[in-house]
Amino acid sequence: MNKEKTLDEKLFDLLKEDGNQSAAGLAEILGSFPRTVQRALKRLMSDGKIEHVGSNWFGHYVIKQDL
């Protein structure tokens, strides 16, 4: 059974590979709308899997160290 990954899973995998990505950069990599990616990132943050580092304009997302 080959289940396609969800957007959240794809984002988490990308952050594992390169943990210094902006929402706009992730959207470009995935070919998705920035707002869609932002909502998925917000879900991952509320699940405690990632965190936002830096300012709103120039910050980036990283996987939480305690995972």
What pLDDT digit, counting tens, does each position of 31-51 carry? 999 999 999 999 999 999 999
CATH assignment at residue 19 = 1.10.10.10
Condensed to tens digits (0 to 9), the pLDDT of residues 6-26 reads 999 999 999 999 878 889 999
The answer to whether position 23 is within a domain reads yes
Q: Tell me if 47 sits within 8 A of 10, measured CB to CB.
A: no
Q: Within a domain: residue 34?
A: yes
Domain total in the chain: 1
Q: Tell whether 32 is covered by a domain.
A: yes
The predicted structure's pLDDT at residue 18: 83
pTM summary value: 0.85
- Asked if residue 2 belongs to a domain, the reply is no
Asked if residue 55 is part of any domain, the answer here is: yes
Cα–Cα distance, 16 to 52 (Å, whole number): 14
Q: Is residue 22 part of a domain?
A: yes
Domain that holds residue 43: 7-63
